Structure 1
Amino acid sequence: MKTLKGPGIFLAQFVGPKPPFDRLDTIAKWAADLGYIGLQLPTGPGSFVDLDKAADSQTYCDEITGTLAQYGLEVTELSTHLQGQLVAVHPAYDAMFDGFAPPELRGRPAERQAWAVNQVKLAARASRRMGLTAHATFSGALAWPYLYPWPQRPAGLVEEAFAELGRRWKPILDVFDENGVDACYEIHPGEDLHDGATYERFLDEVGGHPRACLLYDPSHFVLQQLDYLDYIDRYHERIRAFHVKDAEFRPNGRSGVYGGYQGWVDRPGRFRSLGDGQVDFKAIFSKLAAYDYPGWAVLEWECALKHPEDGAREGAPFIRDHIIRVTEHAFDDFAGSGLDAAANRKLLGL
């Protein structure tokens, strides 16, 4: 068994124009002062990580890791959630997702996609330079507008969507394999990979690629009413990243899983700060420890009610207190008989 690494924190929800969130060194000090020892870093435009530089310059990568090391921090993973989303975009969402790309690519979906594919490949190389073995991303989505089958979906529609998704991701996954890094898809509504069934369908399309791994975030399963503990039992061998995020689901006679187009505060299913929702984190941390999960426990803060800085402040001790320092010996070793193989056979009458 392995002891999980952490606590870490994903910076995507905190990076901004005001100090200390506007520079890597100051946000690193802020996180370290709260008790975090790892940072999951978003990449691309507007972030602290330029992937074009990071993929080719060991010096640049060493500067980033060195800045964090000054505050006792490590990089947990790099993230290309936004770029991964742009690998596969249904035209219905073109205008809304244009904001994820550089301004000069907006309104040019083919060029935007090519840019995104290159960005994710660069992230694989940058991860290797930083000594990382896992990377956080999204799959993108071509079939999502057809999630609920009314009118019924034409025969072959979903199959073709996943075949195309596989064609787009297989060359990217090969680059991750060349660099010894796992691509960890966050299973998330809005992505074609949003549950176990869709992940299995995708795996079939990429030939069971060894680098097509998972970022486990139980909050998304609460909102979909999936069994997030059984999910670990089924897919633990592929889980290589972990977002520690809470959620609650309180349906009523007005709305349920779909949310009634309401804002987050009024939806039956909503994300919450750690400890304020319904996720059984004791069971999750126990399962991940038992299954030798090799990575980090990283806070992703999203809450409809609480201030983000309060969520971050509370998150570090919450994660630290849930990490199980695994035992090196069995609890009942004191009562061992010391018998050898020959004695065992004698006990069995053999």
Structure 2
Amino acid sequence: MARPVTLFTGQWADLPLEEMCKKAQDFGYDGLELACWGDHFEVDKALSDDTYCNRKRELLEKYDLQLFAISNHLVGQAVLDNIDARHKAILPEYVWGDGDPAGVNERAIEEMKNTARAAQKLGVSVVNGFTGSSIWHLLYDFPPTPREMYDAGYQLLADRWNPILDVFQECGIKFALEVHPTEIAFDIYSAEMSLKALDNREEFGFNFDPSHLIWQGVDPVEFIRYFPDRIYHAHMKDASVTLNGRTGILTSHLPFGDQRRGWDFRSVGRGGVRFEEIIRALNDIGYGGPLSIEWEDMGMNRDQGAREACQFTKNVDFAPSDIAFDGAFGD
């Protein structure tokens, strides 16, 4: 049976949700992955208005769209981050408050707990998101970084996220970290260290996204095979590496979409991700959840890209074989 193909609404939050539903239905999607910003899904309203979640469900059903997950990347980023002026633009006003860094961290922690409660009310089992990182700025080891500074970053993960995950556990919800640069887990080994810091608790797993791995030189298929029981959700997202002797993998402080960058995101099927191998790996680990397209391509019209990405994903997906091909040769 084919996996449902959904569209993550994070890059479409400038549109009202109903308009987004109309587009997704027209593009051929089976469902949406609702972002917790714009009017797509608002955590505070979900908890304060007993009709809110039902109205969201009814709107999706009106357009024959399914719902498997919500995503609160932006607030999750503020849990571990060293807060600065950049965060004001991505956070709800009631989380940003007066901008005092410690206060922002604390309010982000409470909002992520409430996100689990809101997900339970909405009837989804997965919340995708970010954790932030207090040690991302230490990525390049100069001046030389004492190991204790890295260890402190993973201890902070445990200190701040375990209370959040306790609420996820109470609500029966999984948190799926999108492994991503600027997060506490950005590749295979940092993801492994994050799991260890959290005592491998079941509530914490991963939202697999190959686009953030390939430009680092990490094989996305190896990530799936390394964490076969921790892939709680899967994004379909593409990227292209274009090193030409002038460009660099660290992108020279150039914005997304600048042709001088050494890598950039691409519409699904138009970059370097080997999606057929990803489908085979997902089949091998028994992943039956949605394939959720996170559409980002600064060089392409998003309506055209999202429609094309939906069809590409449906074409590339396939169920595993239930027979051995050489079984017919036996007696």
Query: Which interval holds the TM-score relative to the shorter structure?
Result: over 0.9
SS class of match (2:143): coil
1:38 aligns with 2:31: yes
2:69 to 46, 71, 77: 77
Within the candidate set 165, 171, 174, 2:166 is matched to: 174
3-state SS of 1:13 partner: helix
**How many angstroms apart in 1 are the aligned matches of 2:307 and 2:143?**
47
Q: Is the 8 A contact 1:247 1:271 kept in 2?
A: yes
Match in the other structure for 1:246:
238
Farther off after superposition, 323-332 or 215-224 = 323-332
Structure 2 counterpart of 1:5: 3
Cα distance in structure 2, aligned partners of 1:147 and 1:4: 40
CA distance in 1 between partners of 2:301 and 2:222 (Å) = 32
The answer as to whether partners of 1:248 and 1:278 remain within 8 angstroms in 2 is: yes
User: Equivalents in 2 of 1:289, 1:195: separation in Å?
Assistant: 22
SS of corresponding position for 1:200: helix
| SS at 2:18 equivalent | helix
- Consecutive unaligned residues of structure 1, counting only runs of 5 or more, are 338-350
RMSD: 1.8
**Residues matched between the structures, number:** 327
**One-letter amino acid matched to 2:26:** D
* Matching residue of 1:188: 180
Structure 1's 76 and 282: CA in aligned 2 closer, same or farther, altered over 3 A? same
Structure 2 portions without partners, runs of 5+ = none
Structure whose CA Rg is larger: 1
Letter in 1 for 2:205: C
1:279 aligned counterpart, secondary structure = coil
User: For 1:30, what is the secondary structure of its paired residue?
Assistant: helix
1:106 Cα deviation after fit: 4.2
Q: 1:92-116, CA deviations, whole angstroms, 9 ceiling, x for partnerless residues? A: xx11112222336142222222221
Instruction: Note closer, same or farther for the CA distance 1:318–1:156 as it changes in structure 2 (3 Å cut).
Output: same
Q: Deviations over 1:143-165 (max 9, x none)?
A: 01111011101341010111012
How many angstroms does 1:328 deviate by? Answer: 4.1
Deviation at 1:332, TM superposition (A): 4.5
Deviation at 1:317, TM superposition (A): 0.4
- Distance, in Å, in 1 between the alignment partners of 2:54 and 2:277 is 37
Stretch moving more, 123-132 or 75-84: 123-132
1:130-279 equivalences in 2 (<5 Å) = 130-264=122-256, 265=258, 266-279=260-273
Q: Is the partner of 2:180 in helix, strand or coil?
A: coil
CA distance in 1, matches of 2:2, 2:116: 23
TM-score computed with the length of structure 2 as normaliser? 0.93
| Cα deviation, residue 222, structure 1 | 1.3
Identity of counterpart residues, as a percentage?
32
- Name whichever of 100-109 and 167-176 sits farther off: 100-109
1:106 and 1:314 mapped to 2: Cα distance? 43
Deviation at 1:76, TM superposition (A): 2.5
Distance in 2 (alpha carbons) for counterparts of 1:55 and 1:206 = 28
Report the secondary structure of 2:154's partner residue.
Answer: helix
Alignment TM-score, normalising by the size of structure 1: 0.88
For residue 4 of structure 1, report the CA deviation from its aligned partner.
5.3
Contact 2:68 2:125 (8 Å CA) reproduced: no
